[in-house]
Structure 1
Amino acid sequence: MADLPTLFADGILEGTVRHGVARLKLAVQDGNGSPATTGLLVVPLAQLPAFAGSITRLLREVEAKAREAQGQVNAAAAPAADTPDVAEAFRFQG
């Protein structure tokens, strides 16, 4: 995956649909808190529901892992330094 372009985005600045293609302009906040475009995500409209479903499933997995980590912390009553990292890496395949 090292040869794939990597885009960081913390939001979508704009979305359009033309000719059966959804175009999502990805954005990140710049140093002044204003959105700055980082790239364009282009998805065939026919695939947009599946794409959105995959993102939704990923979010549900992240939420479940966060609840699981919180439950382990509460059960052990461990100090904050022992709190599992919720952002721990895991693989999702949509």
Structure 2
Amino acid sequence: MPDTQTLFADGVIEASVRHGVARLKLAVQDGSGTPSPTGMLVVPLAQLPAMAGAITRLLREVEAKARESQGQNQAANVAPVESPEPAAAFRFQG
């Protein structure tokens, strides 16, 4: 398996298309909420719909899991537990 680099990003500073390549400058917010560049995602324009589709499918899966979890909490008549983590943090186990 080739070496891969992991980038954390919680935003996009800039997105552009040049010469058939989409470039997304990724950002991470510091403690004061100011975005700071963390890397760049470069995708051939022909592959952008497939990439966007994969992210959209993941988002739908996350939303479905959240609805399922919410339904289970309501069915069990259990109040949701407050968590210090943001609501978008999910951990899936296969």
TM-score category of the 2 structures, normalised to the smaller one: 0.7 to 0.9
**What runs of 5+ residues in structure 1 fail to find an aligned partner?**
none
Q: Aligned ranges for residues 2-81 of structure 1 at < 5 Å?
A: 3-81=3-81
Q: Which residue identity lines up with residue 52 of structure 1 in the other structure?
A: A
What is the match of residue 89 of structure 1?
92
What is the DSSP-based 3-state SS (H/G/I as helix, E as strand, rest coil) of the residue aligned with 1:88?
A: coil
**TM-score (ref. length: structure 2):** 0.83
Count of residues paired in the alignment: 87
1:79 Cα deviation after fit: 4.5
Q: Which runs of 4+ in 1 moved over 6 A?
A: none
Distance in 2 separating the partners of 1:69 and 1:49: 30
Task: Give the RMSD, CA atoms, in angstroms.
Answer: 2.0
Q: Deviations over 1:55-90 (max 9, x none)?
A: 001000000000000000000012445xxxx71224
Aligned sequence identity (%): 69
- Per the TM alignment, residue 45 of structure 1 is displaced from its structure 2 partner at its CA by 0.2
- Given the two structures, how large is their TM-score scaled by the length of structure 1? 0.83
